[in-house]
Amino acid sequence: MPPRATDARRAAVLGSPIAHSLSPVLHRAAYDALGLTDWSYGRFEIDEADLPGFIEKLGPEWAGLSLTMPLKRAVIPLLDEISETAASVDAVNTVVFTEDGRRIGDNTDIPGMVAALREHGIEEVDSAAILGAGATASSALAALARICTGEVVAYVRSEARAAEMRQWGERLDVDVRTADWADAREALKAPLVIATTPAGTTDALATAVPERPATLFDVLYDPWPTDLAARWSMFGGAVVSGLDLLVHQAVLQVEQMTGRSPAPLEAMRHAGEKALAAR
């Protein structure tokens, strides 16, 4: 049964660093739109060493947690159960506390990616390229497992990273081929390009955007647009942003933590856009 609007409940985002997080803006906007006037959502600077003690001290008023790096794997041993989606990439970004005190972990990044792409008309692709090989790249592979019918090429900087991506491909049942980062310009010809690298990493690729680009999913949102995304848009290509991902994964978190569905997507997006513009 969904919580009543008069029930005072708490939620928060944890991570390190955390000051930049837009999660409080998005979740509070959702609470306002849903009439959950006694709900609050905070942020806490927490690293792996602090996490067990923090969770143990949480009282029954806590509804859930959002987790960012470096806690997405560190939290798993502290939970009673995790979803198949979270288990597929060994990463939890959402914890929901049940009425009987159980801690349930999920990963909303993966379905959030799929939902963001679907919103931009991408239901299925026959191939794709991933720029990068970190934690976000594994989530991207898991999302592609749901929508890509053919090969995924991952462009990486080392053989160690290449081996990791191939292992993730086997685990997620995705046909993964790896290529050297020096050839990353070739990635831009794919029907779907997912850029998972830190800010500035893809700037040098902007001059290689093809005349008729397809779809770019750049997981960054601040600063925005990236050089690559700006050039992509200038050439008429479709661009999915990191804010699209952030909002869609937060929508799923709000629905799980509050029991209210659907969460107010547009109100959350508007709040996120406003906060980014203010920066």
Q: Which residues are marked as active site?
A: 72
DSSP assigned state of 188: G
Residue 223, token pair as written in the block: 């600063």
- The span from the CA of 64 to the CA of 5, in Å, is 16
| Strand order, beta sheet including 192-195 | 176-180, 152-156, 128-131, 192-195, 215-218, 238-240
The angle that helices 135-147 and 159-172 make with each other, rounded to 10 degrees, is 40
State the Cα–Cα distance between residues 188 and 217, nearest whole angstrom.
11
DSSP string, 38-93: T-EEEEEE--TTTHHHHHHT--TTEEEEEE-TT-TTTTGGG-SEE-HHHHHHT---
